């Protein structure tokens, strides 16, 4: 019997720009359908010291999804729980793809939602890789 290990995904807060909104939406898309077996951790709760969130990240592989190079989610996980299993830097992805970030940080247009789906696919790749490593 093959058991798929639990994976945590945690998005940055991302109020400062559209990259944070992309990061947040992509993480939600993972939970809602792309990889529904994952567990989404709440970063503000994690930062405020919630033991459930921090203990999960200590026990199970966790992937931070950061909007930008400041990598708040990754640094928070590393500080309070331990090394991350993989990570996603949305700013770096957009640079690689030659795509601009959303102009509006509150409301995503159709093209921005498609971009979020593309980011979600990248998160999914990392989830699959981590699960493959764990199942080996």
Residues forming the site for another protein (CB under 8 A): 1-6, 8, 11-16, 20, 24-25, 27-29, 32, 36-37, 39-45, 47-48, 50, 52-53, 55-56, 59-61, 70, 72-73, 75-76, 79, 85, 105-106, 108, 134
Which residue's CB is nearer to another protein, number 55 or number 98?
Answer: 55
Which residue's CB is nearer to another protein, number 72 or number 98?
Answer: 72
Decide: 89 and 95 in contact? Cβ < 8 Å: no
Which residue's CB is nearer to another protein, number 42 or number 99?
Answer: 42
CA dist 40 and 9 (Å) reads 5
Distances in whole angstroms, Cα of residue 14 to Cα of each of 6, 36, 52, 82: 25, 22, 22, 22
């Amino acid at each position: 019997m093959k058991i798929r290990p639990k994976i945590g995904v945690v998005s940055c807060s991302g109020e400062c720009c559209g990259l944070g909104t992309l990061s947040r939406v992509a993480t939600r898309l993972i939970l809602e359908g792309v990889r529904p077996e994952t567990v989404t951790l709440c970063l503000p709760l994690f930062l405020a010291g919630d033991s459930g969130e921090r203990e999960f990240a200590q026990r199970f592989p966790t992937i931070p999804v950061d909007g930008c190079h400041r990598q708040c989610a990754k640094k928070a996980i590393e500080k309070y729980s331990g090394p991350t299993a993989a990570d996603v830097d949305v700013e770096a992805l957009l640079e690689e793809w030659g795509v601009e970030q959303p102009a509006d940080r509150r409301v995503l247009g159709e093209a921005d939602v498609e971009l979020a789906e593309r980011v979600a696919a990248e998160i999914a790749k990392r989830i699959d890789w981590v699960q493959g490593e764990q199942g080996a």
